Amino acid sequence: MKINELNLLKVSIVKDIFEARELYKSYFDISENITEYVKNIVNDVKQNGLSAAIKYTNSFDKVSFKTLTDAKLSLDEINEGYESIKLKNPELVKAIEKSYKNIKLFHEEQLAHEPETWFIEPEKGKKLGQISLALDRICVYIPGGRYVYPSSVLMTVIPAQVAGVKEIVVCTPPLKSGRLNNLLLYLFKFLKISEVYKIGGAQAIALMAYGDSKVKKVAKIVGPGNIYVTAAKKIVYGNVGIDSLAGPSEIAIIADKSSNPYYIAADLLSQAEHDPDAKSILLTDNIDIANETIFKIYEELEFIKTEYGSRFNSDSVIESLKNNCKIIYNKDINLIIEISNEIAPEHLEIMTENPEETLKKISNAGSIFLGSYTPVAVGDYIGGTNHVIPTNGTAIFSSPLGVYDFFKKSAVTYYSFNALDDERKFIEDLADTENLLAHKNSVKIRFKS
């Protein structure tokens, strides 16, 4: 049976936002079983530190580490991998260098607009302000598994470096040989990262959150991971900061009659390629575009299968399309935009006749791509904006990873004797109302002769 005979997709004609909500609603949740399983690992590492982290690494990753020396990446390994990639993959090296340049440029500009340390003197004898300081030490988590994602390393490390973080630690699962992929080793040297632990999973998150006598804890953990890593980040949050609890990746595309169904289909497929839970949604006010896009999805899927053979995981893509791809139509473009804002997608592509005008009506989206020649892949790899983006509708209250994630701010207050005297009664009255009498006394005592 051919793909276009599978009847995977159909156009959903919606009357209002409530009908649309029923189509795309989804919940990212971590099951109680996984939470309990991860909690046991986290508690073990919290109690026993590095030895417990190594125990789980040996069990899950089929290695035989015994000490910190085994689990920590050496400079010799980094240099060896760096030279190998430089020699064998010069075109990839050029792509990494270009990506680095663009990402660094974007985040340096972001830094220029980040609030700095400031003070005001609203009245004589009073000074109020804020100091802004980079975090001292953070961990970047890099997933293991079948593929290596150099773009994720660049996206997480560069903004931390631009922000001025002093110590950047990396945790990533080892290969069965106990080594790491040469491409990762190249990136570590390229980015001047020297503290790397060949430890992954929940045990890595716990080790970074709590530390032990040999491994210093961090202030924040960033970077993507599987459900076990996400569960561990949720458990340790509060002891350390985290970037987000990432759910399945997602895209929404707003398209009108001016859009190209080939491009829409290709971009929906690129999202479905992530995993079976990935979500891809077309929102359009043109029924012909909706129907044509479905046809082009089948056509492009057949082409990619033929072009790349077994390298292309078509079964996973088909599963994603079947369960999570929605083609939503309503003739009112304003309702279409309202639905997009309700979804608050991780990635939003705007393929309308005047995308910048449409952009003015967008209030909720993680990362936005304008026009027919800006697929999400641009942002994934080379554009410069960050591809660590809020998922599962959390873009209504959160932002992509940026330099601001690596700063902490402290408020500063100064009152002279006279300034405190001017306002002491207000403080005393409020403290008295709240029955916090030691608070009241802490002011009064300063005026006893």
- CA 158 distance to own-chain centroid: 14
Q: Which of 107, 347, 349, 387 is catalytic?
A: 347
Assess whether 347 carries a catalytic annotation.
yes
What's the CA gap between 361 and 409, in Å, rounded? 32
Instruction: Name 92's bridge partners.
Output: none
End-to-end Cα distance, the chain: 94
Helix (H, G, I), strand (E, B) or coil at 16: coil
| Cβ-contact 322, 300 below 8 angstroms | no
193-230 burial: b if 16+ Cβ within 10 Å, else e: bbbbbbbbbbbbbbbbbbbbeebebbbbbbbbbebbbb
Name the burial class of residue 276, with classes exposed (0-12), middle (13-18) and buried (19+) by CB atoms within 10 angstroms of its CB: middle
Q: Which two tokens stand for residue 139?
A: 């961990």
Q: Which of 346, 387, 434, 439 is catalytic?
A: 346
Which of 279, 278, 365, 364 lies closest to 327, judged by CA? 279
What's the CA gap between 432 and 426, in Å, rounded? 10
Tokens 């029923």 belong to 22
Tokens 């990402």 belong to 103
Assess whether 346 carries a catalytic annotation.
yes
E strand spans, 142-230: 167-171, 195-197, 220-222
Ramachandran bin of 110, using left for φ above 0, alpha for ψ from -120 to 50, beta for the remaining angles: alpha
List, by residue number, the catalytic residues: 346-347
